[in-house]
Structure 1
């Protein structure tokens, strides 16, 4: 049995766009921190993301998958966009969130559970 301290359970899934880092070849590495503030583990958290260019036009879609996140715990995901410089991205939009609850739980829309924060110069969220 796992005991989760009260301060670890917020009833929300916190996502922080933590860092953009240029990589060789003109690409960009992004770091996202996900904290499971729910009272139950998530077997897999899937984020459907949309990237916008400097002109505000949709540039690309990307699905990001976090492996199991225990209740009250944090996971960090880094991903690279090949041939996409960090300064060419103006916005990262969370288009959809899925797999935040077991299939047996009905009527929960994962996107409603999000709490977003950002430490980068690009816009993050809705």
Structure 2
């Protein structure tokens, strides 16, 4: 068997195993729970992370596109939400500078640059991710 084929099979097995383990354990729910005005005219966003995956995540970053009231991308933000303990709900606050809360129509999670369980290789968080919002702005992928 060629070297490339062995590597490809190994990578495929590792991905299948990581996805299978995460899918069996539960969901990681990211909820945009609340907005409040921040100093300087910005917006403070409150996120709840409900980690029912069975995996303690020592690395979890979200790359977000913030859309204004007209549905146009206003800015991109990368947010580090780690650590996220297993079977816990964690509150994280993030500032969106220079944009009022009422001007945010949607937040698009367009990438997850980091999703790493403790003492393990990175995994594909999209396979067990669920998004929701209790604000006037939608949280979507």
* TM-score (structure 2 length as normaliser): 0.74
Partner of 2:56: 41
Offset at residue 123 of structure 1 (A): 1.4
Provide structure 1 residue ranges, at least 5 long, that are not aligned to the other structure.
1-8
Name the SS for the 1:112 alignment partner.
helix
The structure having more radius of gyration, on CA atoms, is: 2
Q: Which has the higher helix share?
A: 2
Matched residue SS, 1:44: strand
Cα offset, 1:98, TM superposition: 4.0
Q: How many residues end up aligned between the 2 structures?
A: 117
Q: Is residue 16 from structure 1 mapped to residue 31 from structure 2 by the alignment?
A: yes
- Displacement over 3 Å in runs of 4+: 101-106
**Residue in 1 aligned with 2:17?**
none
TM-superposition CA deviations, 1:20-69 (whole Å, max 9, x none): 10123211110011111111210021111110111111111111111222
The answer (yes or no) to whether the contact 1:69–1:75 under 8 Å persists in 2 is yes
> What RMSD, in angstroms, separates the aligned Cα atoms of the two structures?
2.0
Task: List alignment gaps of at least 5 residues for structure 2.
Answer: 1-23
1:3 aligned residue: none
| C-alpha displacement of 1:10 | 5.4
